[in-house]
Chains A and B, each alone.
Chain A
Amino acid sequence: MRQRPLWLLAPGGALMILVILLPLGLAGWISTIDLDQYTLRRWVQAPFIGLGNYTESLGSGLLHSIWISVSFAVLSTLATIPIGIAAALVTQNAYRGRALVRAVFLIPYVLPSFVVATVWRTMLQPDGVVNNWLGADGSLWLSGPRSYWALILVEIWAAWPFIYLMALAALQSVDHEVHEASAVDGATWWPKLTRVVLPYLRGPVLLACLLATLNHINNFTLPFVLFGAPAPDDVNVMPMLVYVTSFQSLRFGLSAAMAVVSLIIIAIPLFAYLRAVRLDVHEEGGRR
C-alpha cells in the first residue's frame, strides 16, 4: 500500500482541535470547578470540586428540562415531516406560478427566529388574535401547560421548510428513467408515490430528521423571546435552563456540567439512531 499523504489533513485537524476539541475540553474542565462571579476574576484558581456540579445539576431540574427539550424536539420533527414532504411533492412538477409557491414556502425559514417569536408572542396574548379566532378569550398560551404546545406549534411553523428543502432536493435527484419505467409498468400515482418515490427520499429525510431534531433541541431564541426568563416550568427547555444558570445566577461551573450531561444524554440515542438508519451514502449506493 502506498504511503498516504495524511499530513494533508493537518490544517483541518488543527482547526478541529482549535474549534471543537479545545472548547469541549475547556467545558469539561469548567464543569469540575466552582466557577461563579466570586471566582471569575481568578478563574484559573477556582476551586476544583470534582463531580459536585454534576450532582447538583441532577438535583436542579436538569432531567426535567432534558425531557421537555427532547420530547418537544421529537414531536416538532415528527409533525414537520409530513408537511415538508407534502410541500415538496406539491412543488415537484412544473406548473405556472411554481416558483412563487416555492418562494412563499421558504418565508418561515428565512425570517429570523427573533421576529417569528415576537410576532407569535403578540398573536398568542390572552386577548390576542389566536384567541379571537378560536373564540377562547383569555386562554393562556404563554404560561402554564398550554405553553408547551404553543412552543411546538411555533417551532413547527418556523421549521417545516427545512424538511421541505431536503425532500425537494431528494425528489429532484430521482432519475427521469424511474418515472418513465413506472409509467410503462402502468403504476398509478399512489403506488408510484409509496413504492417508487418515497424510498428515494428515505436517506435525505432521515438525515433531515436528525438535523432538525438537533436544531429544535438547541433552539434558544424561540423559547426565550416567546416566554421570557424565568420561563414557565412547562417550557423550561435545556437551553433556557443553562442560560439562566449561566447568565442570571452566574454559576458557570454548574451550567457547564449541565451542558455536558445534556450532551451525553442526547448523544447516546443519536448514536443509536445513526447506527440504525445508516446514513452512509456509499453503503446505500452499493445496495441500490
Chain B
Amino acid sequence: MRSSKTLAGTAILTLTLAMAACGGGDDSGGGKSINVLIAANTQYPQEQQAWQKSIAEQFRTQTGADVKWETFASANDELTKIQTSVVSGSGPDVYAVGTTFTPTAYSTKAFVTLGDEQWKQVGGKEKFIPSALGISGPDEQNQIGIPWVGRPFVMVYNTELLKAAGIDKPATTWDELTEQAKKLTTGDQHGLAVAYKDNFDPWKFIWGMSAQAGNPIVDGKTARIQDPAVQKAYQTYFGWLATDKVVDPAAVGWTNSQAIAAFAEGKTGYMALTSALATKALDAGAVKGKWQFALLPTVPPGATSRPANGVEAASILSGDNLLVADYSKNKDLAFQFVRLITDEPAQLEIYKQLGQLPSNAAAAQSLQSDPKLKVVVEAQQKSVATPFSGAWADVQLALTNAVVQSIPDLSKGSISTATIDGRLADAQKKAQSALDRAK
C-alpha cells in the first residue's frame, strides 16, 4: 500500500514536471536563440544539413545567438505546426512557407506586417527581384512575406528529338506546343509528358493559360471559373491526351516525378511543367546531355498573340517566403536572421548547395551567365503571382478536383464540352463559396 502511494506520488510529480517543461519558455539557459521552421529537402538531405550548419555558424558570429532548426516533411506538417503555434502563441520565430500558401498564412493574422523599419532591417526591398515580391501581401502596405528562394516552373525538352523532327526552337505558344508535340509523336515516342494525376500540377496549367487569356480566375471576391478562357484551358489540357494523342495514355496515372522519370527515358519530346530542381533526376536518365529548359508558352491556347488584358505569366510565382511570427519574443534577431539568408552570399550558397534560385537580385544577376540557368532565371522574372486571397487554397483545390474527376473520361479518349462545363460549374460553386467567406 505504502509503495503504491509512493508510486502514485512519483507519477503525479513526473506528470507535473513534464507539463511544466512543455509550457516552459524559450531561451532557457545560455545565450539567445531563434527557432526557424523550413521544409526538409528530401532530394539533398546532406547538403541541406551542411547549409544549415554553415548559416548557423555565420549567424552566431554576427549576433552571438543560436539558430534552432525545425524541419517539416510535407505541407501538412507545416500547416499543423502553424496551426498549433497560432493557437498557442508560441513556436518558431521564422517560418519559410510556400508562395501559394502565403495568402492563407496572411489570413491567420499571426505574422508581422512589414513596415519600413522591418524592410530596412532585412536590407531593403530593393535588394529583391521585383517579381519575387508579388505574393508577399495583398498590397504594398500589408506585406508579410520576405522572398527567400524561387522555384519557377519551366518546360524541359529533348534537344535530339526536336532536332530529328526538324523543330529548330521550342514552342512559345500553347498551340505551337501542341503542333510540335504532334510532330514528335511517332511509334513509341510521345510529344509531351504531363502529370495528370498530380495533386498540384493541373491547376498551374489552368491558371497559367487563363491568366494569359486575361482571366486571373479570382477577380476581387468573384470566382471566374465558368468562363470561356478557363474552358479553353481545360480543353487544351485534356485534349493533349484525349484528342491530340500526344501524351502516353499511362500519364493519367502520373504524378510530377513520374512524368519527369518518363521524360528522362529519352522517348518524350517535352515535359511540360518542371523546375530547376529536376536537374539531378534528368542527368541521371537517358536524356543526360540532351535536354534543355525552355520557358512555358505565354500565349493562351487558340491565339497567336496574347490579348491586351492577358499577362505574360511564364510561371506561377513559386518558391518560399519568410514570415516572422507575431508572437515571437525575438523579432529583432529574427529579422537579422532573415537579412543574413537573403543577402547575396547566403543566396548564392543555397543555390550551390540545394539548387534553389535566389530572390536576391544581385545573386540572380550573377547566375545569368550560366546558359542552362538563363531560362530559369528569366522564368523567375516573368513569374506572376496567383491571386492573393485566403480562399486561394480552395480555388486551387476546386481546379484540381475538376481534373481528378475527369480522369476516367480522359482515359476513355473523349471528354465532352458538357462534361467539362459540369465540372466547371461545380468548381465555380466551391470557389465562390470560399471567396464569400474570405475576410
Q: Are A144 and B407 in contact (CB under 8 A)?
A: yes
A248 within 8 A of B: yes
A142-B197, A229-B199 known; A249+B434 contact, CB < 8 A: yes
Q: Looking across the interface, which residue of chain A has its beta carbon closest to that of B109?
A: A41
A126-B250, A126-B252, A143-B407 known; A244+B397 contact, CB < 8 A: yes
B108 within 8 A of A: yes
Chain A 227-242 interface 0/1 with B at a Cβ cutoff of 8 Å (1 = within): 0111111000000000
Q: Are A126 and B411 in contact (CB under 8 A)?
A: yes
Give the residues in chain A near B286, CB-CB below 8 Å: none
Q: Looking across the interface, which residue of chain A has its beta carbon closest to that of B255?
A: A228
Q: Quick one: which of A41, A43, A145, A244 has the most chain B CB within 10 A? A: A41
Q: Are B87 and A138 in contact (CB under 8 A)?
A: no
B110 within 8 A of A: yes
Chain A 105-148 interface 0/1 with B at a Cβ cutoff of 8 Å (1 = within): 00000000000000000000111100000000010101111000
Q: Are B108 and A40 in contact (CB under 8 A)?
A: yes
- Binding stretch for chain A, among B158-166, B276-284, B398-406: B398-406
In B98-117, the 8 Å CB interface with A consists of 104, 107-110
Expressed in whole angstroms, the minimum distance between the Cβ of B130 and any Cβ of chain A is: 28
Give the residues in chain A near B249, CB-CB below 8 Å: 126-127, 138
Expressed in whole angstroms, the minimum distance between the Cβ of B268 and any Cβ of chain A is: 14
Give the residues in chain B near A40, CB-CB below 8 Å: 83, 86-87, 108, 110
Q: Which of B8, B390, B408 meets A37, CB within 8 Å?
A: B390
A230-B400, A247-B76 known; A37+B253 contact, CB < 8 A: no
Q: Looking across the interface, which residue of chain B has its beta carbon closest to that of A138?
A: B249
Expressed in whole angstroms, the minimum distance between the Cβ of B346 and any Cβ of chain A is: 31
- Say what secondary structure dominates the interface of chain B: helix
Distance A228 CA – B403 CA, assembled complex (angstroms): 13
Q: Looking across the interface, which residue of chain A has its beta carbon closest to that of B12?
A: A11
Give the residues in chain B near A36, CB-CB below 8 Å: 437
Q: Quick one: which of A11, A37, A228 has the most chain B CB within 10 A? A: A37
Instruction: Count residues of B near A (Cβ-Cβ below 8 Å).
Output: 35
Q: Which of A37, A143, A247, A249 meets B108, CB within 8 Å?
A: A37
Q: Looking across the interface, which residue of chain B has its beta carbon closest to that of A121?
A: B253
Distance A244 CA – B79 CA, assembled complex (angstroms): 12
Q: Which of B108, B253, B434 meets A125, CB within 8 Å?
A: B253
Q: Looking across the interface, which residue of chain A has its beta carbon closest to that of B106?
A: A37
Chain B 234-257 interface 0/1 with A at a Cβ cutoff of 8 Å (1 = within): 000000000000001110110100
Give the residues in chain B near A233, CB-CB below 8 Å: 405
Expressed in whole angstroms, the minimum distance between the Cβ of B194 and any Cβ of chain A is: 14
Give the residues in chain A near B437, CB-CB below 8 Å: 36, 38
Expressed in whole angstroms, the minimum distance between the Cβ of A115 and any Cβ of chain B is: 16
Expressed in whole angstroms, the minimum distance between the Cβ of A230 and any Cβ of chain B is: 4
Give the residues in chain B near A232, CB-CB below 8 Å: 404-405, 407
Distance A249 CA – B249 CA, assembled complex (angstroms): 31
Give the residues in chain B near A43, CB-CB below 8 Å: 87
Q: Are B79 and A140 in contact (CB under 8 A)?
A: no
A197 within 8 A of B: no
Q: Which of A41, A125, A140, A231 meets B86, CB within 8 Å?
A: A41
Give the residues in chain A near B104, CB-CB below 8 Å: 37, 250
Give the residues in chain A near B434, CB-CB below 8 Å: 249
A interface, size bucket:
20 to 34
Expressed in whole angstroms, the minimum distance between the Cβ of A53 and any Cβ of chain B is: 12
Distance A100 CA – B208 CA, assembled complex (angstroms): 57
Q: Are B86 and A250 in contact (CB under 8 A)?
A: no
A41-B86, A41-B110, A144-B407 known; A125+B393 contact, CB < 8 A: no
B439 within 8 A of A: yes
Distance A127 CA – B251 CA, assembled complex (angstroms): 9
Distance A232 CA – B402 CA, assembled complex (angstroms): 10
Q: Are B393 and A248 in contact (CB under 8 A)?
A: yes
Expressed in whole angstroms, the minimum distance between the Cβ of B434 and any Cβ of chain A is: 7
Q: Looking across the interface, which residue of chain B has its beta carbon closest to that of A131?
A: B250
B175 within 8 A of A: no
Q: Are B439 and A38 in contact (CB under 8 A)?
A: yes
Q: Which of A41, A143, A145, A248 meets B397, CB within 8 Å?
A: A248
In B348-403, the 8 Å CB interface with A consists of 390, 393-394, 397, 400-401
Give the residues in chain A near B80, CB-CB below 8 Å: 247
In A47-88, the 8 Å CB interface with B consists of none
Distance A181 CA – B394 CA, assembled complex (angstroms): 67
Give the residues in chain B near A248, CB-CB below 8 Å: 393-394, 397
Distance A1 CA – B104 CA, assembled complex (angstroms): 63
Q: Which of B107, B252, B401 meets A140, CB within 8 Å?
A: B252
A126-B411, A230-B404 known; A41+B108 contact, CB < 8 A: yes
Give the residues in chain A near B107, CB-CB below 8 Å: 37-38
Q: Are A249 and B404 in contact (CB under 8 A)?
A: no
Give the residues in chain B near A145, CB-CB below 8 Å: 408
Give the residues in chain B near A244, CB-CB below 8 Å: 397
Q: Are B250 and A250 in contact (CB under 8 A)?
A: no
Q: Are A230 and B397 in contact (CB under 8 A)?
A: yes
Q: Are B408 and A144 in contact (CB under 8 A)?
A: yes
Q: Are B87 and A125 in contact (CB under 8 A)?
A: no
In A244-281, the 8 Å CB interface with B consists of 244, 247-250
Q: Looking across the interface, which residue of chain A has its beta carbon closest to that of B327?
A: A41
Give the residues in chain B near A138, CB-CB below 8 Å: 249-250, 411
Chain B 2-24 interface 0/1 with A at a Cβ cutoff of 8 Å (1 = within): 00000010000000000000000
Give the residues in chain A near B439, CB-CB below 8 Å: 38
Distance A229 CA – B407 CA, assembled complex (angstroms): 14
Expressed in whole angstroms, the minimum distance between the Cβ of A18 and any Cβ of chain B is: 10
Give the residues in chain A near B83, CB-CB below 8 Å: 40
A36-B437, A40-B108, A41-B110 known; A143+B411 contact, CB < 8 A: yes
A-B contact pairs, 27 of them (CB 8 A): A37-B104, A37-B107, A37-B390, A38-B390, A40-B87, A41-B87, A43-B87, A125-B253, A126-B250, A126-B253, A126-B411, A127-B248, A127-B249, A127-B250, A138-B249, A138-B411, A143-B404, A143-B407, A144-B407, A228-B255, A230-B397, A230-B404, A232-B405, A233-B405, A249-B393, A249-B397, A250-B393
| Additional A-B contact list (17), CB under 8 Å, known A143-B411, A232-B404 | A38-B390, A40-B86, A40-B108, A127-B253, A138-B250, A140-B411, A143-B404, A143-B407, A144-B411, A145-B408, A228-B197, A230-B401, A244-B397, A247-B79, A248-B393, A248-B397, A249-B397
* Pairs of residues from A and B, 5 with the lowest C-beta to C-beta distance, nearest first: A144-B408, A143-B407, A127-B250, A230-B401, A125-B253
Q: Which residue numbers of A lie inside 8 Å of B, CB to CB?
A: 11, 36-38, 40-41, 43, 125-128, 138, 140, 142-145, 228-233, 244, 247-250
